[in-house]
Amino acid sequence: MDIESAFITGANRGIGLELVRLLAANELTHQKATRVLAACRCPEERAEELQNLAQRHPNIEIIKLDVDDWSSIENAAKKADELCGKGGLNLLVNNAGVNPMDSLKSGLNFQTSDMELAVRTNILGPIQMTKALLPVLKRSAQMTPSGKAIVVNISSSAGCIKQTPLNYKFGNLFPYRVSKAGLNMASVCMAEDLRADGIICLPLHPGWVRTDMGGQKAPLSVEESVSSCLKVIKNLTMQDTGSFLSYDGEVLPW
């Protein structure tokens, strides 16, 4: 599917910034320019690279958005509605996420505030974003020849319940794991809710990636991860809705 318009959350660094970069330049997709709505918390302060990118690509619009703040989500959705016009929005990537660092080794002794933050940002954020952008996504599904729009929730294999007994000792990440497993369930519920509207929804694991969150020991560069993710996204069909996919297209266990 040609992606004519995309909304990316957490677009000022890491995986989100690379999604904006590759989509805006159409380096991989070889299609007409994608209009990229690049959302981040502090466009004026912590988004220098994104601002520079937007200067080079007039098809990037920077939008202020804190996914923990419902009024911020509503304002961003209104802006997206105006910018996307009657063609609507083809692709929403709920990428913004947190891994509260106190949770790295604390196991059951995690801070309650860390769990609250992880649930709010990693589960409720994508749900509220999808709800707010639903009218714009539906417009795209009605207008595109393929009759579909896509919601990708950037999840993690750390949310995979089946593999947790094998890898828990290497990184407890208690609140993070719970939040990503919850995001996976939310994605499947949304996939069922949105199926009749022609909107594909699924959780996507980007691999272990060298970003602030992934750290420098991660095997994948952001370019490797995001270029693979975009190939997967471009080839999605309604048959994939509700599946848990990896950046290389593999179907992951829940």
H/E element holding 92?
A: strand 91-94
- The closest alpha carbon to 2, from 90, 61, 80, belongs to 90
State the DSSP code for 101.
Answer: G
H/E element holding 198?
A: none
- The verdict on 21 binding ligand NAP (CB under 6 A) reads no
Minimum Å gap between C-beta 144 and ligand NAP is: 26
Question: Contacting ligand NAP (CB under 6 A), which of 32, 46, 78, 105?
Answer: 46
How would you classify residue 207: left for phi > 0, otherwise alpha for psi between -120 and 50, otherwise beta? left
Backbone torsions φ then ψ of 87, nearest 5 degrees? -75, -15
Q: Which stretch binds ligand NAP (CB under 6 A): 37-45, 52-60, 78-86, 136-144?
A: 37-45
Q: Which residue has the tokens 């929005």?
A: 89
- Contact 93/9 with Cβ under 8 angstroms? yes
Nearer to ligand NAP, 81 or 224 (CB): 224
Residues 99-128 close enough to bind ligand NAP by CB under 6 A: 121
- The verdict on 95 binding ligand NAP (CB under 6 A) reads yes
Question: Contacting ligand NAP (CB under 6 A), which of 6, 7, 14, 88?
Answer: 14
Q: How many residues lie near ligand NAP (CB under 6 A)?
A: 31
Minimum Å gap between C-beta 132 and ligand NAP is: 13
Q: Which stretch binds ligand NAP (CB under 6 A): 76-84, 213-221, 227-235, 241-249?
A: 213-221
Minimum Å gap between C-beta 225 and ligand NAP is: 8
Binding mask 169-208 for ligand NAP (x = CB under 6 A): ------------------------------------xx-x
- The closest alpha carbon to 159, from 196, 122, 127, 193, belongs to 122
Which residues pair with residue 220 across a beta bridge?
209
Nearer to ligand NAP, 15 or 188 (CB): 15
Backbone torsions φ then ψ of 167, nearest 5 degrees? -125, 5
* 135, two tokens: 């009218």
- The closest alpha carbon to 245, from 170, 153, 179, 111, belongs to 153
- The verdict on 218 binding ligand NAP (CB under 6 A) reads yes
Nearer to ligand NAP, 3 or 63 (CB): 63
Helix-, strand-, coil-residue percentages of the chain, each rounded to 5: 50, 15, 35
Question: Contacting ligand NAP (CB under 6 A), which of 209, 232, 236, 245?
Answer: 209
- Binding residues for ligand NAP (CB under 6 A): 9-10, 12-16, 40-42, 46, 65-68, 95-98, 121, 154, 156, 205-206, 208-209, 211-214, 218
